[in-house]
Amino acid sequence: MAYIGKTPTVGNFQKCDALTTSATADYTLQVSSVNVSPESVNHMIVSLNGVIQAPTTAYTVSGATLSFASALTSADVIDFVLLLGNVLDIGTVSDNTVATAKIQDDAVTLAKMAAGTDGNIISYDASGNPVAIATGTSGHFLKSQGAGSQPVFAAAGGGKIGQVISATQTTASTATPGGTFTNITGLSCAITPAATSSKVWITYNVSYTFGGPNNSSALRIARDGTGIAVADAAGSAKLGSSTDHGWDFHTRFGSSSQNFLDSPSSTSALTYTIQWISPDNATLYLNRSVNAATGSNVIRTVSTMTVMEVLA
């Protein structure tokens, strides 16, 4: 490149911090309290007791250590040490001088970025400065905390479904449970919640028949054999979840459905079942209707239940 006048000299020119002499020949070179290493002994100007010293013969340099040919005394004065940098090339760029416009687009590669922790991601703090988001636990999701707050890794939540268990009964069967709640064959689901804060959603649809005038029956959800989602106590009444009533001489046919959100507060294996009862000792027919007069089957159906873990 051509210049008008003298070609400018390029170098990283620095004046070292003041050095206090003592009975030693070796001194550490620093700029702003940070060690610096000259390009070579010939890239320095050293003044001792008001006299410019000759490189190599009067002093040498190794890394950041300046060594005089002989030990000094506290009476000696190192006036200054100047570092010239490498005047044959561009030298070291001065601090805080490279602007964004001087860096080519896509020039900064991953190899030039500072090392981090495996799994961390880069975000920005409230001041707009880059920050590392700490690695989460396996299975965690990245959760936004809104404007002005950094995202975090967190466990799944907010009503997400953790697992789904279902049971389907297509076989027709007959039972006479009488005044005791009895499990309906084939409608049972075992589930182990992942946390005590999880809830369990139970839903069922049972198709069944019972016959005889003025007979009644009821269904309920049970957890480990104990009824849940049942009515409040009222005298000697059986406490069920849903009920039906036979009101003529023909068999009563229909289906019963219910949804319930249970809070077991447990991480143990839980078994949910659907139970039925007939205080009037009526015969109950699962998945079929029966003609009360002839005893013949009229309709075949299916019954189902589903149990889902709802994460906190």
**Residue 229 CA from chain centroid, whole number:** 34
**Looking up tokens 């799994």, which residue turns up?**
119
> What pLDDT does residue 80 have?
97
Q: What share of the chain is helix, strand, coil (3-state, %, to 5)?
A: 5, 40, 55
> What pLDDT does residue 235 have?
54
> What pLDDT does residue 221 have?
94
Per residue in 180-194, pLDDT (tens digit) is 999 999 999 999 999
Q: Using CA atoms, how far apart are residues 261 and 223, in angstroms rounded to an integer?
A: 12
Give per-residue burial for 221-258: e unless 16+ CB within 10 Å, then b. Answer: bbbeeebbbbeeeeeeebebbbebebeeeebbbeebeb
Question: If you average pLDDT over residues 88-114, what whole number do you get?
Answer: 79
Q: Using CA atoms, how far apart are residues 82 and 202, in angstroms rounded to an integer?
A: 82
Per residue in 263-311, pLDDT (tens digit) is 999 999 999 999 998 888 888 889 887 665 665 667 788 999 999 999 8
Residue of 235, 234, 226, 182 lying closest to 208 (CA atoms) = 182
Poorest-pLDDT segment among 7-16, 96-105, 238-247 = 238-247
> What pLDDT does residue 230 have?
82
> What pLDDT does residue 88 have?
52
> What pLDDT does residue 307 have?
98
**DSSP structure class, residue 24:** -
> What pLDDT does residue 248 have?
43
**Looking up tokens 């998945």, which residue turns up?**
287
Residue 14 has pLDDT above 70, yes or no: yes
Q: Is-above-0.85 flag for pTM? A: no
Q: List the beta bridge partners of residue 92.
A: none
* Residue predicted with more confidence, 248 or 89: 89
Q: Using CA atoms, how far apart are residues 212 and 249, in angstroms rounded to an integer?
A: 5
**Domains of the chain with CATH codes:** 14-83 (no CATH), 162-310 (2.60.120.760)
Residue 120 has pLDDT above 70, yes or no: yes
Question: If you average pLDDT over residues 246-271, what whole number do you get?
Answer: 78
* Residue predicted with more confidence, 289 or 158: 289
Element (H, E) at 186: strand 182-191
pLDDT tier for residue 15 given thresholds of 50, 70 and 90: very high
**Residue 201 CA from chain centroid, whole number:** 25
pLDDT tier for residue 145 given thresholds of 50, 70 and 90: confident
Residue of 146, 115, 150, 157 lying closest to 134 (CA atoms) = 150
Write down how long the chain is.
312
